[in-house]
């Protein structure tokens, strides 16, 4: 599998704290990828998966808090998508950890698309809206 996954301008939402968090999620996914390819150095894949799950959970919560604080109208739908995404992440982590007959590259590719799809999709809606309400 290819080593590092790309990150591009279409992923920018325009809220600094959220853009920083998205970059951390991407970095963690790339570290996980490297750990799986190179055999877990310096940090084991299990630790990175745990970190990815915890950080993603925290990130989703941060976004929901931000949307709630500013009365963003799309909050309910966004929260539902986060719950769905988190369930998919937990399922992917289970597959990776239990080494089922799965192709790790496929699971990682799925997670990459899963994350980018959300950031380039639904996450793009709150950025401009919050910007209009004075949040950057």
Residues that bind Fe ion (CB under 5 A): 63, 123
Q: Which is nearer to Fe ion, 75 or 109 (CB)?
A: 75
Residue with tokens 């970190």: 51
Smallest gap from residue 76 Cβ to Fe ion (A): 13
Smallest gap from residue 50 Cβ to Fe ion (A): 19
Smallest gap from residue 67 Cβ to Fe ion (A): 9
Instruction: Point out the residue whose Cβ comes nearest to Fe ion.
Output: 123
Rounded (10°) angle between helices 45-69 and 123-132: 40
Q: Which is nearer to Fe ion, 35 or 85 (CB)?
A: 85
Burial 55-79 (b: 16+ CB within 10 A, else e): ebeebbeebbebbeeeebeebeebb
- Prior bond to 42 cis, omega within 30? yes
Q: Which is nearer to Fe ion, 31 or 63 (CB)?
A: 63
């Amino acid at each position: 599998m290819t080593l590092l996954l790309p990150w591009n301008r279409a992923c920018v939402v325009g809220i600094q704290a959220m853009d920083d968090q998205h970059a951390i999620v991407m970095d963690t996914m790339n570290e996980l990828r490297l750990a799986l390819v190179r055999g877990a150095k310096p940090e084991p894949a299990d630790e990175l998966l745990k970190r990815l799950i915890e950080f993603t959970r925290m990130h989703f919560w941060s976004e929901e808090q931000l949307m709630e604080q500013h009365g963003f109208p799309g909050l309910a739908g966004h929260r539902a998508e986060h719950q769905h995404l988190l369930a998919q992440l937990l399922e992917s982590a289970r597959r990776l950890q239990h080494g089922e007959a799965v192709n790790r590259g496929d699971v990682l590719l799925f997670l990459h698309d899963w994350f980018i799809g959300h950031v380039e999709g639904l996450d793009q809606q709150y950025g401009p809206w919050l910007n209009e309400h004075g949040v950057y």
